[in-house]
Amino acid sequence: MKVIKHFQDKFTKKYYRVGAEYKGDRVKELQNKGFLAPSFNLSEYLDGSAKEVKKNVDGLEPEQIEELIKIEKDNKSRNTVISHLESLVGE
């Protein structure tokens, strides 16, 4: 799982920086606390209204956003969502 907020593991005392990979036993706990990226399907970021999508995609990597643009164009093709996603990757 990708680290999205730096932390020190309370058991191993190992320090994890943003962008590092965490392969420990506490994935769900650390996801719930906002230290690790969510582990659900990328297309689930597009569920809900355009306003919800804008909130959901905050903090995603550019490659993930590019994939979401493709998914959105192939499915609902909402101009508001596509414009917002493209603005995040500078298109």
Task: Break the chain into its structural domains and give their ranges.
Answer: 1-39, 42-89
Average pLDDT for the chain: 90
Residue type, 12: T
Structure confidence at residue 40 (pLDDT): 64
pLDDT in tens, 13-51: 999 999 999 998 898 889 888 899 877 678 888 988 999
**Helix crossing, 79-89 with 62-74: angle to 10°?**
160
